[in-house]
Amino acid sequence: IRAGIFFHDVFEHLDFAESRTEERIKLISNKLKEYRFESKWQEPVCAMVDNDLSVPLCINKTTLMLSSVQCRNRINEVEFYFPLKPVSPNRLRKIFADYGGIDLVDDFPDRLGKLSFSLTKGFMKGYIDMVFHDQDRFWLVDWKSNYLGSSVEDYDKNVLNNVMSRDFYILQYHLYVLALHQYLQLRIPEFSYERYFGGVFYIFIRGVDPDKGPEFGIYKDIPDKTLVDALLKELILDE
Distance between terminal CA atoms of the chain?
Answer: 37
Q: Which of 142, 156, 167, 221 is catalytic?
A: 142
Active site residue 142: yes
Q: Which residues contact 3 (CB under 8 A, 6 or more apart)?
A: 145
Question: From CA 153, how far away is CA 231, in angstroms rounded?
Answer: 34
For the annotated catalytic residues, the residue numbers are: 142
